[in-house]
Amino acid sequence: MEDTEQNLPDVVEEQVQQPVGLPADQPIRVPLYRRVLKPSNLVLSADDLKEFCELLVEVNEKAKEIEYSRLDLTTFKSPEQATARVNDLVCIEYNYVAGNGDAMQGLGIPKTDERAFPDDLQSLFASNAAYAERAINLRPLNTVEVLLGFEKPSLKIDLQTLPSNPTENRSIINVAGRDEDWVISTAQKIDGFFKKRKAARPIIHGSGAYDYIVYLAFLPAVIWLFYKYASPITLWLEQQTIFLNVILGIYGLLLSLLFARFLFQYARWLFPPMEYYKRSRLGAFIHRSIATVVATGVGVSAAYDLVKAVFVSLLP
């Protein structure tokens, strides 16, 4: 049966969506310049965090001035209304999380001197773009976003986390905008603030540090200790089968590597890449002093035995 003209479907013209032009009163907000900072090896107190947020408020005032200068004032009833609009939307918003999971969000500078401010701060986020983006779905022309993470490395030993990887540090600072001078000066001020609070940290947080320590220090030390103090054990092993000797040797090696990994993760936990304290570091100082004294004593004793053995083997 042939299709007649009445049976043919109607032709529907495809509606091609025309691109929507950018409103004349809306400046382009794609950042032209960006600086990314990754702070590490910092020791910050609650007062330091308050001072840092004050620094963010200071650089944000300049960002407000740039934002105001790019506005089309004809869309506002008065310049005062435009200024109020910028002040309302381009503001510093912070969010911090305590060790128990409780979170606090607010505008301006957090009240770090209050009792409610956590002693075990886990992270602090601050931004001059988050509030405006949530309120009107637009970001300011120049933005600064900060995430400072103070989580200590875990003492948990599992097969998914490789000790050879560098210590996880979620801290990052993004400075971006359309004004090059503002981006550069803001990044320099933040970098200068953190340089004054740098702390010496061991090399244990770097990539591959675990491998170097285990193969160049720990395993030679284990072999030396077994050679020096394992005479009663070797006498007993000589009476056992070769199979049992192999099994015990492999098990002893794995057990020693497990112990080495615990000591390594304990050292990372004891000296975290980002450290926060509210008022005093006395407890942490005492803990680290005791651990340092014990480690130094063991190291000096091992070095003395090694040097003594070398001299005895060389001298007739």
Distance CA 221, CA 214 (A): 9
Distance CA 69, CA 83 (A): 10
Distance CA 213, CA 223 (A): 14
CA distances from 87 to 67, 114, 124, 137, 263 (A): 10, 26, 23, 16, 52
Band (pLDDT 50/70/90 cuts) for residue 316 is low
- Beta-bridged to residue 126, according to DSSP, are 94, 146
Q: Is the pTM of this model over 0.95?
A: no
* Closest among 61, 58, 258, 248 to 155, alpha carbons compared: 258
Structure tokens at 12: 């529907």
> What is the per-residue pLDDT for 2?
46
For residue 280, count other CB atoms closer than 10 A to its CB.
9
Distance CA 204, CA 213 (A): 9
What is the SS3 assignment for 173?
strand
pLDDT in tens, 221-276: 888 777 777 777 777 878 878 888 889 888 988 999 999 999 999 999 988 989 99
pLDDT in tens, 77-91: 888 898 999 899 999
